[in-house]
Structure 1
């Protein structure tokens, strides 16, 4: 006899479903890993109940840019702890980057990640390496990586140095229904830097990386995508010029999409005056002009997606300001930081923010996510959009605590997360 599926009833929430233009108060019934019904008057006496009055139910967030550090760097993070942090931030699906040890450049490593992630608190998807060893020179066997389960391609952490390799990947990826996500950086312009090159770096007498390093990389990727009429997704956009290049390319019909991260919307290079390596990331925090340009690019649709570039490092690594590795964590704070920067300020509506954090990234990755409705996978975040809270690194759920939002008061908080019908986070 078939075992009866466990049922969960989310009762009395504001249901915000941008994919279908829906916004109403109602109940969501979940059976197993799927939503079985959604309506204003729904009851199941045998279901476990989550009372959600005063909260908003949104499709679980999809983070297109995450470093889980597994395999090889599990002192910083691993698949399980990374997914715990994801759950605490309402992230139910994530794309993990390939700069692990070994790099995700073989089918075996792809399968290792997917197998380990089966019991994690979020759906893990894999971006496999474009080039062997992430050296930017020799193309991986892209078809084999696809067949092992990878859905995207990236050398993130570094650009693909050999433009011929980049073009081959851009042309091959659509045939495999994969997306290339590009780290845009000219390494000849980016040498031994600590922060963004500008007035603050001069004031602090610290070596800087010019915005041109990112801009030249962005221009190359756009030119390649335009010349071969193929898609490219630009990672972690941080400069005004890169945003302008992407905006112009979209207007010309180039198949380019782009993401930025919450820290580029809230913070600038002035944070580096604290000499705290938690504010060091790549690309670096930029000028106020760039921050305002990012907000405008999000507002006008130049930027399609808000992603985190979640990059954990140990406290010991981050203790040395001048020599610390770049990167900051972000999944647990992503909604609150983006809400504070964009919705609280009236730049976006909550619906528009959810589109950029859930609906659009799901579309770009071609995964089943981003919607609330009967038959859909039961991935839901319950949020209190009005709760203000102070970010305490010691209370976060991942292994590392290198958040640039520490001590900040943010508005909007994830209160519970359901992933595949399972309650993976609950602070109600």
Structure 2
């Protein structure tokens, strides 16, 4: 069973490597994100360890000298958890635990743990449990054997390694059972989607923690859970929304993230089906994040993997209320960066060069909402007209929040 979120914070350290495919700046960005993930899971970060390598060590991910340094530090400072920024192989995990003798997690296990905390419905819990077992199976042998008397904590939720002698056959049988259970639920959800008729479907997509749920609440006047943490929303939420007098279905989906575990992509197939079967995507972007262009690329990559990248799309750049930049001095000859670009410059770039229509808003403060709603209305109308070319009913756009309506989709 999935355990409830624990309130006690674990002391942890982070570990990452600079490689030929990941420079120091990129590693710093990934480590910042990893720390946010760790805080979301319930850890407090004591220190970061980094190392320059051509590629991660096949035995212990980091070199033997760095592993020894980490071992001495965690022992002296009573650190209970080490979190690696990349997915560890079963042999790397086994070797590290044998060498350092504390709980070892990688980015994949950490994300799975957060999903285990966040899953609210039976469907979401089943998806997470399947992903956890798929991750656990090749790592089953002696996993965290030195912790057999220390249950619970980050990475120990869900199926976890609660009994070291857990039989692989039992795990495989459980995986098979969960897959069968998801197939039944998948059919039920497909039937629900078919029962929605030919109403235009719009899906919110984007990187995690960009404000999709806040935007969902603002547009649909609903109360979808929103929090300034990664993966605040796991369960798909559908609302019937009316802008002007044009109705459509709006779906809030799980946020994407770089290095998204393949187990989650597979187990959350039906959740992603909401994106695959949408008529229009609203790609929400946190314009205040200095790496928002990388986030866009990550989301586009996942959309391509699920064959949803050619759908009509609106780019909604959110959090303009948090946007700030450092104006570069005219005498400064050093190369510029995203930090030196003003919001007006970003607007000109994306509104003039992007193949998708774009709008810049604040979902929290509802800035530029009339412009955004008009844009959504126009794009939904195009799809509606193509679907019902001989419909005699004429829609007329008007911007009156009091006349807009929304209701929950059962």
Same fold by TM-score greater than 0.5: no
TM-score by length of 2: 0.27
Structure index of larger Rg: 2
Structure of greater relative contact order (alpha carbons < 8 Å, 6+ residues apart): 1
Q: Which protein is richer in helix relative to its size?
A: 2
